[in-house]
Amino acid sequence: MCDTCGCGNSDGITIRKPGEKETGEIHQHIHVHEHDHDGIKHSHQHEHHHIHSDGHDHHHQNDINEYNDQYGEHKHFHSKELIVEQDILSKNNLLAERNRGFFEAKHILALNLVSSPGSGKTSLLEKTIRYLRKEIKFFVIEGDQQTMNDANRIHSAGAPVVQINTGNGCHLDSDMVNKAIKELNVENNSVLMIENVGNLICPSLFDLGEAIRIVIMSTTEGEDKPLKYPTMFQSSHFCIINKTDLLPYLDFDIEKAKQYGRQVNHHLKFFELSVKTGAGMDNWYEWLKEQTKMIK
């Protein structure tokens, strides 16, 4: 089963470049249980000595008594307390930090683009790559359940790209990104765009090692989107409101949308643009160029 999201064995996670056949699959199953711990001497944070499985230890150390008294419970016999204090998502977060270190060392600006399906992430990337590729080296990681469609579009726009297909999985995690960047051979002084799976809930929990997380919403999605999906807006640094060209046909109050966004995350900064018509794109291009200068 997949280490992070529990997807089934039969749907392998694959990482492919455009043009690669199915046989280019890399099965990504990291098995959950590792069992080799023979004769390890570990010092725990508490004072208990080890209780060997072949003997019986009836001594209660003071720590156990204190713990039990505090919790109103007293377990006799052979139980001993282990202080663990381990973050449940620690595996993902540790690898995310390694990714982050890698990006920093190589002056790679890594952006994690999140949104509902259909807000315009891929279109934004296509247009941005076409416009800026002479000035900026782009590398792209695409995430979808199935198909190479998005990767093919990015490939046509002229940037190196790999497609991660998550199968039953609903988000990208740091391990997938770690493997993808090795496939991609991301260069120094470049911008890595990670287009996450279209999903406004699950990706918010998973740090990929990005420098900046950008949530994209479109005018067709209703201005109360940030209130309905606060976790994603809270965990993002920037918000792009796309499809402003449709405003005349919609009951979408853009100022209210920004207000709701700031209510959930007062650090949030906004871009308002239309990928289709190009309105507002200059601000986005300028910002991107500024960011790349800052990481050199």
Partner 1 sequence: MHELSIVMNIIEIAEENAKKANASVIVEIELDIGKQAGIVIEALEFAIESAKKGTMLENAKFIINEIPALARCASCSYEFETDDLFTPCPECNNPFSDIFRGKELKVKSLKVE
Residues that bind partner 1 (CB under 8 A): 1-2, 4-6, 32-35, 37, 40, 42, 44, 50-53, 71, 75, 77-91, 170, 201-202, 204-205, 227, 230-231, 234, 260, 262-266
**Nearer Cβ to partner 1, position 57 or 245?**
57
Q: What is the DSSP string of 108-122?
A: -EEEEEEESTTSSHH
Q: Is 41 exposed, middle or buried (0-12, 13-18, 19+ CB in 10 A)?
A: exposed
In the complex, least distance from residue 210 CB atom to partner 1, rounded to whole angstroms: 18
In the complex, least distance from residue 81 CB atom to partner 1, rounded to whole angstroms: 5
**Nearer Cβ to partner 1, position 62 or 86?**
86
| Look-up of token digits 């579009």 | 153
Q: How far apart are CA 149 and CA 4, in angstroms?
A: 25
* Greatest pairwise CA separation for the chain in angstroms: 78
124 neighbors 171 (Cβ within 8 angstroms) = no
Per DSSP, the three-state class of 226 is: helix
Nearest to 235 by CA among 259, 200, 270: 200
**Nearer Cβ to partner 1, position 4 or 112?**
4
In the complex, least distance from residue 262 CB atom to partner 1, rounded to whole angstroms: 7
Q: Is 83 exposed, middle or buried (0-12, 13-18, 19+ CB in 10 A)?
A: exposed
**Nearer Cβ to partner 1, position 1 or 26?**
1
In the complex, least distance from residue 219 CB atom to partner 1, rounded to whole angstroms: 21
**Nearer Cβ to partner 1, position 90 or 185?**
90
Q: How far apart are CA 73 and CA 83, in angstroms?
A: 17
In the complex, least distance from residue 226 CB atom to partner 1, rounded to whole angstroms: 8
In the complex, least distance from residue 145 CB atom to partner 1, rounded to whole angstroms: 16
**Nearer Cβ to partner 1, position 44 or 182?**
44
